[in-house]
Amino acid sequence: MAKDLYHFINGQRVTGISGRFKDVINPASGEIICQVPLASSNETVMAIEAAAKAFPAWRDTPPLRRARILFRFIDLLNQNLKELSELISAEHGKVIEDAKGSIIRGMEVAEFACGAPHLLKGHFSENVGTRVDSHSIRQPLGVCAGITPFNFPAMVPMWMFPLSIICGNTFILKPSEKAPSTALRLAELMKEAGLPDGVFNVVNGDSEAVNTLLSHPEIAAISFVGSTPVAEHIYKTATANGKRAQALGGAKNHMVIMPDADLDQAVSALMGAAYGAAGERCMAISVVVPVGEQTADALVNKLAPKVRQLKVGPATSPTAEMGPLISTDHVEKVRNYVTIGVHEGATLVVDGRELTNGENGKGSYLGGCLFDHVTTKMRIYQEEIFGPVLVIVRVDDFATALKMINEHEYGNGAAIFTRDGDTARAFSSEVQAGMVGINVPIPVPMAYHSFGGWKRSLFGDLHMHGTEGILFYTKLKTITSRWPTGVRTGNDFHMPTMM
């Protein structure tokens, strides 16, 4: 077993002293890679105090100088892309190319953040009243924190800390204890890029660390990505403690296939969208909605053979298209959902519980599963499974498909495949989801737009990255000024007006 991990506080590796550790397991082999320390409340407070101490000097650092550090950080990410991809694959299990792609998507947010000298500009109005001018500025909040999931150990943290830091805040990252190594490496690369000590800290831990972040008065804002029950708890607890919060939760993303769609294109898109990263994506397509029986039959005929032929294996296998799930416990949870679907009366077209391809060994593997004739009353339709399980819900017309999506409790993403512009426009206008794809299966916005869902997929008013990310990590101040030209006498008790 490799050496135990650590925390990264005030620019230094800090050995865990709580006496509590968690095994980090390679899901491809089932082997213990290392142990990660679980921070006590006192250790978490150490990071908060380091961030609070670093804040005044960092707040006063010009945005252009902050951006230059991020430019160097991006260069270091490119130099270390292979190492970071391998770290992610070892702890999460996703294939190398998928891991590399997720890092690049995170880098795009850091690249966007480098525009802070422009993004942080305020507005100025001259002569709003006689000899009175007004201008607005955006200022940092203070110490911010991010709590991130196991499935994107680099990308999701980089949705948070580059923007927070470029805005002048200091930051504490609490990564998933299931895949912690990448976050520590990112912190070291930020230090190498020239970031002052204490501006970016990483605390590994579980609920004790999280609860400390949620309750400590020095934390000004919390960002979270994870399941809906936890997201709701994070949001309610953080806001009850006077903090700004954005908490992204679960999803059940639908893809509508119209009769006029390019079916080969749709099937190819579905394979990656449903089974990429073993379905462990909040933007994975988990429900496909073919319109019309003919469309549905043709879809199943084309899709089922591809799901059966899906190559499952470790990231080290050059032929692997899908890696393992994060843990054997999660495999069992997903397998149970498949069993539930069968008992509910859905047709299990492809049963991935028994692998016919790939190297299952001792890892946490599961093959691709495909259900047909699923109804909206079934749990496999209603609940987020977070695994390689795709369900087909057949409908007669577009209106039924749209109504079904809009009635679901989640509203993260939705997609439609069609050649008809009127249908596409109606879908994008009327669907109740935060991110919409037209002939695009996973409509994750580019970094200069913002990421976030609707309904129970997002708690909070502001989405992540893009312009809304800048708004989240700053507060607005408006200054109104008058420079009198003469001596004023007497008192003025009138309500101020700009006359």
User: Which residues are known catalytic residues?
Assistant: 282
Q: What angle do CA 187, 387, 315 make, to 5 degrees?
A: 55
Instruction: Output the six-digit token pair for 405.
Output: 């999506």
- What is the C-alpha to C-alpha distance for residues 185 and 102, in angstroms, rounded to an integer? 15
Please answer whether residues 94 and 30 qualify as being in contact, where contact means their C-beta atoms are separated by less than 8 angstroms.
no
**HSE value, Cβ hemisphere, 13 Å, CA-based, for 455:** 18
CA 372 to chain centroid, in Å, comes to 29
* Counts for the chain of helices (H) and strands (E), in that order: 16, 22
Q: Name the one residue in this structure whose structure tokens are 């580059």.
A: 162
Please answer whether residues 449 and 470 qualify as being in contact, where contact means their C-beta atoms are separated by less than 8 angstroms.
no
Q: How far, CA to CA in Å, does 424 sit from each of 148, 261, 439?
A: 34, 11, 9
Which phi and psi angles does 21 have, rounded to 5°? -135, 160
54, containing H or E segment: helix 41-59
CA 120 to chain centroid, in Å, comes to 23
Q: Name the one residue in this structure whose structure tokens are 């800048």.
A: 470
Q: Name the one residue in this structure whose structure tokens are 């990308």.
A: 155
Instruction: Spell out the residues 6+ positions from residue 226 whose beta carbon is closer than 8 angstroms to its own.
Output: 147, 149, 234, 247, 248, 249
Taken in order 226, 229, 234, 236, is the CA torsion positive or negative? Answer: positive
